Amino acid sequence: MSTKSPPIMGSLEWLEHVYAQPPARSLKGHSKRSQYHSISTSLRGLPVGGQGRTEACAVLLLDYLANAGYITRFKQQPFRTDAKTFGYQIVPDYLASCSNGKILVIEVKTSRYITALVQATLDRNQEKFAKFGIKYLCWTDKHPLSYHLRHQLMEMRRASNCVPQNEIDALLAHLRAQRQDTFEALVDSGFDKAVIFAAAWKSKAFFNFSDPFEPSTVVSATPLLDLANIALSTSPNGHTWWDQLARSR
């Protein structure tokens, strides 16, 4: 009696199979640093978890990119690689599907723990996944989850749950008329930080998420930073302007 072969990694059949399965392993943090966070996402309200603050922020970034239309689905602890076809077994942190059809596998690391040995493993994983047409990314607390980005995302999501839509609409009408304005000028016009952050979470207002939010911060109705390109073009080597910027702070 013949048995059906498992779907080939990277194929549409494999992708649908992975999303239909429960996570390959469960995570429960035993300390504050590794505490498990369950976050209700915009993808039909389905919760996605992360172990520790950096992974929780990675979920927020994935959810922001989903809100903006760059990502259609994502999943935690999505699958375990097959030792026969992949060469060894690993369980990545996240799987994400882009609106352009690309498949992403994302590892989340704390930058200070990326030793030469860990870096070599990341490089090897990247090469392995590339053979299956999958883009392998490493996100760290330096790139792209820099200090300011993490805090902006948390505040943006929080504000989106409490600011009425009519206030967001009023801000958008103002920004369309002015094209852009500083935070200080927006306050003078009657808009507070919460409504700006709520609109930003919905990708209706934009500012440089990688910088501190200050009175001089420029807020625009059009993107000022290609966050999707920065986040989704990350390589384990981290040789990008964002990483260099984060390390210089």
Could you tell me the pLDDT band of residue 241, with boundaries at 50, 70 and 90?
very low
Burial of 4 (0-12, 13-18, 19+ CB in 10 A): exposed
What are the residue boundaries of the structural domains of the chain, listed by start? 12-144+234-248, 162-225
Fold of 162-225: Arc Repressor Mutant, subunit A (1.10.10)
pLDDT reported for residue 26 = 76
* Of 200, 204, 206, nearest in space to 224 by CA: 206
Report yes or no: 152 and 212 within 8 Å, Cβ to Cβ: no
pTM: 0.84
Q: Which CATH number fits domain 12-144+234-248: 3.20.20.70, 3.40.50.720, 3.40.1350.10, 3.30.9.30?
A: 3.40.1350.10
Query: Rounded mean pLDDT of 46-68?
Result: 83
Report yes or no: 13 and 7 within 8 Å, Cβ to Cβ: yes
pLDDT reported for residue 236 = 39
Q: Which tens digits make up the pLDDT trace of 60-114? A: 999 999 989 999 999 999 999 999 999 999 999 999 999 999 999 999 999 999 9
